[in-house]
Amino acid sequence: MEAPTDPQTGLPAPAAPDQEPSHSWLRTLLELAVIGAAAVALAFLVQAFVVKPFVIPTPSMADTVLSGDRVFVDRISYHFRGVHRGDVVVFTGHGPIPLLKRVVGLPGDRLIIRNDVLYVNGRVADMHTVRRTQGAYEPTEPGPDTAEPWSLQRPYTVPAGRYFVMGDNRTNSDDSRYWGTVKRSEILGRAFFVYWPPDHWRGL
């Protein structure tokens, strides 16, 4: 069958352009909506299982991180390794909001404070990040109840499955000296980077 010709020129008529369906804009809009929903879902999954931003609520970790700083929290590595002494962790279960402190005692560790110095298993365990002030282990009022075993006025052994946490700003930190240890199930993840404000950028 011969191709149709143009009656004026006698040449083969150009092929008719493909006709765009009248609802193509609806398909484009639907595709954009699906992409947007997938992006939102991915962001939620990342925050829930991989990395979550966290705002520092108190000055208890100064000068390592300051009140109002924002950090990234790694929520995946503790599925593959244990909590380490010195880790900065975010946890729940000790107040209305999650808290951020440093792990100073692991399960089975024996802790005591003598002359404003923390000892773990008989060795000085203060870290270079502790804010150095006179009486660094004399908390502001009200102090911990010295009758409680976790006040560290006497040797205290961290129970199995629990962690002893303290703020680097030892004179202004509501931590395990007041309310005891943190369960492993309460630890949400490890803070690893300060991302805001920009002049505070650093790893933890």
**In tens digits, what is the pLDDT along the chain, a chain of 204 residues?**
555 665 666 556 565 555 555 568 777 777 666 666 555 544 544 455 457 889 999 999 999 999 999 999 999 999 899 999 999 999 999 989 999 999 999 999 999 998 888 999 999 987 777 876 544 555 555 677 788 999 999 999 999 999 999 999 988 899 999 999 999 999 999 999 999 999 999 999
Amino acid at 59: P
User: How far apart are alpha carbons 138 and 29 in whole angstroms?
Assistant: 62
Residue of 52, 60, 151, 173 with catalytic role: 60
The answer to whether residue 149 is domain-embedded is yes
Residue of 101, 151, 173, 176 with catalytic role: 101
The answer to whether residue 27 is domain-embedded is no
Asked if 167 contacts 175 with a C-beta cutoff of 8 angstroms, the reply is yes
Residue 74's domain is classified under what CATH number?
A: 2.10.109.10
* Integer angstrom CA distances of residue 174 from 7, 41, 72, 147: 92, 36, 22, 17
Number of domains in the chain: 1
- Domain holding 142, by residue range, is 54-203
The answer to whether residue 37 is domain-embedded is no
Place of tokens 């100064």: 62
Q: What does pTM read for this prediction?
A: 0.75
Task: Respond yes or no: is residue 60 known to be catalytic.
Answer: yes
The answer to whether residue 62 is domain-embedded is yes
Asked if 120 contacts 158 with a C-beta cutoff of 8 angstroms, the reply is no
Task: Respond yes or no: is residue 52 known to be catalytic.
Answer: no
* Number of residues written out for the chain: 204
The answer to whether residue 58 is domain-embedded is yes
The answer to whether residue 38 is domain-embedded is no
The answer to whether residue 33 is domain-embedded is no
Structure-token pair, residue 39: 């992006």
- Partners of residue 72 on adjacent β-strands: 53, 193
The answer to whether residue 137 is domain-embedded is yes
Structure-token pair, residue 103: 């792990």
Amino acid at 132: R
